[in-house]
Amino acid sequence: MKMQIDAQRLRSDFDALAAIGVTPDGGVDRSALNDAHLEARRWFLERADAAGLETAVDAAGNHSALLRAHDANAPTLLLGSHLDSVPNGGRYDGALGVLAALEVLRTVRDAELELPVTLEAIDFTDEEGTLVGLLGSYAVAGLPLELANPRGGRDVLVEALARAGLEESRLTDARRDPSQLVAYLELHIEQGPRLEGAGVQIGVVTAIVGARSFRVTFAGRAAHAGTTPMDARADAGLAAARFVDRVNRIVVEEFPDAVATVGALELEPGAFNVVAGLAHVSLEFRAQDEETLDRLQARLFEGVDAQVEPVARWEPTPLDPDVRTAIAGAADELGLSWRELTSGAGHDAQALANVTRSGMLFVPSQNGVSHNPAEHTSWDDCVNGANVLLHAALALSRR
Ligand code: GLV
Ligand code: MN
Ligand code: MN
């Protein structure tokens, strides 16, 4: 019988975490560094401490549990994900990966296995981008942080860092020496319908999509909604609406492998009886390769009369072949079916891929639903994922 994680211990952690920041419809609201998120992070360290593991918090606020190798100079195998959520998100996104990582450490410790690496279960700060996006993992990888014009706005970021006791000027101190990293491995829910549709238990992720986001501002002229004739208006809201439709049509008709989303739209002054003078559009688009992203970007903005401000840019990222082999091998050893697939969601693994061997495994998402309180993965699939994480980590630690 292969070594297994303790499914009951993992379940009890999962349920306790899901109660922190719970929303009325059974999802969670743990936007990065809000009160519920900070509480979840304290709880995570308490659980690690209760298990007799060492704990650490770095300059970017990343929270870790550590199982040290005997050799003080041994490199580190990172296992992790994130405890923050999107506003009104689900219970599995990020949370499963962090808890499974913690469970792997406890399992290895209980089995008194002596590994030639330090195992670290890490909860990265602000994966979801309510503040910056991939903030903690970018800091660990020593990648540049977009702090001047962050996705959530400058004021929100400053307030959140203060609430968490983090210093903006020191965030980059979280950078790790790449020579001290063995690999990074992350378990996550798929967040799409492919594994479930194929009836496959484990996804071995080959690459993570690239994404670019922009603030697009249309300027019109605020005017009286009752007295301004229709042909005498400069309606910023109408211009924005036409742009939203244009984005959708271009992607559907010309870029079948890409996706584009307007996830927020705000009109100013924003009243029933005022023609909008300004419209702010939050645009994001994703594709698997740089060339498609470049062409799509040029096409979306072609002839558009608006102020366009870049906000974030995540490069398309292939994941490491050794890590993929370790995941597939672990699934085989456990008798689980697997297939390769790409990720349309962003993940901390894409930041780590810049500095170490980085890989991910997915478990099926019921109906492909995610970023929604209805997000669900069967408990058996969660346990399977955690066991594959364990055995893939063991294989990587010995290589
Ligand atoms: C994170 O979940 C993202 O892909 O936006
Ligand atoms: Mn996630
Ligand atoms: Mn997410």
Instruction: Give the tens place of pLDDT for each residue, 7-37.
Output: 999 999 999 999 999 999 999 999 999 999 9
What does the pLDDT average to over 286-290?
A: 97
Instruction: Give the tens place of pLDDT for each residue, 160-180.
Output: 999 999 999 999 999 999 999
Q: Is the confidence at residue 399, as pLDDT, over 80?
A: no
Is the minimum distance from the CB of 141 to ligand 1 under 6 angstroms?
A: no
Ligand 1 centroid vs 85 CA: distance in angstroms?
Answer: 10
State which ligand 1 atom lies nearest to the alpha carbon of 346.
4
Instruction: Give the orientation angle of helix 95-110 with respect to helix 35-50, to 10 degrees.
Output: 10
What does the pLDDT average to over 41-55?
A: 98
Instruction: Give the tens place of pLDDT for each residue, 191-239.
Output: 999 999 999 999 999 999 999 999 999 999 999 999 999 999 999 999 9
Q: Is the confidence at residue 131, as pLDDT, over 90?
A: yes
What does the pLDDT average to over 122-126?
A: 98
Is the minimum distance from the CB of 190 to ligand 1 under 6 angstroms?
A: no
Summary mean pLDDT of the chain = 97
Ligand 2 centroid vs 190 CA: distance in angstroms?
Answer: 9
pLDDT at 63: 98
State which ligand 1 atom lies nearest to the alpha carbon of 345.
4
Is the minimum distance from the CB of 128 to ligand 1 under 6 angstroms?
A: yes
Ligand 1 centroid vs 128 CA: distance in angstroms?
Answer: 6
Give the confidence band of 53 by pLDDT, cuts at 50, 70, 90: very high
Q: Which residues pair with 149 in a beta bridge?
A: none
Share of the chain above pLDDT 70, in %: 100
Tell if the pTM clears 0.85, that is, is over it.
yes
pLDDT at 186: 98
Ligand 3 centroid vs 135 CA: distance in angstroms?
Answer: 14
What does the pLDDT average to over 54-75?
A: 97
What does the pLDDT average to over 276-303?
A: 98
Ligand 3 centroid vs 77 CA: distance in angstroms?
Answer: 23
Instruction: Give the tens place of pLDDT for each residue, 193-204.
Output: 999 999 999 999
The 3 state secondary structure assigned to 237-277 is HHHHHHHHHHHHHHHHHHCCCCEEEEEEEEEECCCCCEECC
* Amino acid letter for position 119: L
What is the Cα–Cα distance from 49 to 59, expressed in whole angstroms?
A: 20
pLDDT at 113: 96
Is the minimum distance from the CB of 94 to ligand 1 under 6 angstroms?
A: no
